[in-house]
Structure 1
């Protein structure tokens, strides 16, 4: 099972650089599930954020729920 399923839509979720690197491997499969351009753009933006976190030592990526 991947990392992205752990993102809580209602609470906060934090990825460290190792978790972000692992989640990057899920982007290709996630892109195949996109139903429209807006979803594709969102996943592409997510990939940029994950890559930035994965390549910056000591960084974290926070997902803030509602």
Structure 2
């Protein structure tokens, strides 16, 4: 199980056409990111708990700004270097999304 990430300039299309909006991808931390996010309460108040490790989840720029605030606590509580690297990479994408009007972060679970 892993979660790949992509930052898109607009809402990504599901079938191949999403490459036209792709700004950046993160594919190397999938399993570590899934483990880090697995610790979150799926029914809690945070946005990152919404991420489906087996399906796709999209965050728009407003959701990304809120989710970015959750990363600090996750990194501080993390003892695994791979998970920290995954969370810091996610933080960069969320930050970029939050400052790019109309953009989305696409979490692709498997």
TM-score relative to the length of structure 1: 0.95
Aligned residue number for residue 44 of structure 1: 88
Q: How many residues align?
A: 66
Unaligned runs of 5+ in 1: none
RMSD of aligned alpha carbons: 0.7
Question: Paired residue for 2:98, among 28, 51, 54?
Answer: 54
Which of the pair is proportionally richer in strand? 2
For normalisation by structure 2, the TM-score amounts to 0.58
Q: Any stretches of 5+ residues in structure 2 without a counterpart?
A: 1-44
How far did residue 19 of structure 1 move?
A: 0.0
**Structure ranking higher in helix proportion:** 1
Q: Which residue of 2 aligns with 1:31?
A: 75
Question: Is 1:64 the equivalent of 2:108?
Answer: yes
SS of the aligned residue for 1:26 comes to: helix
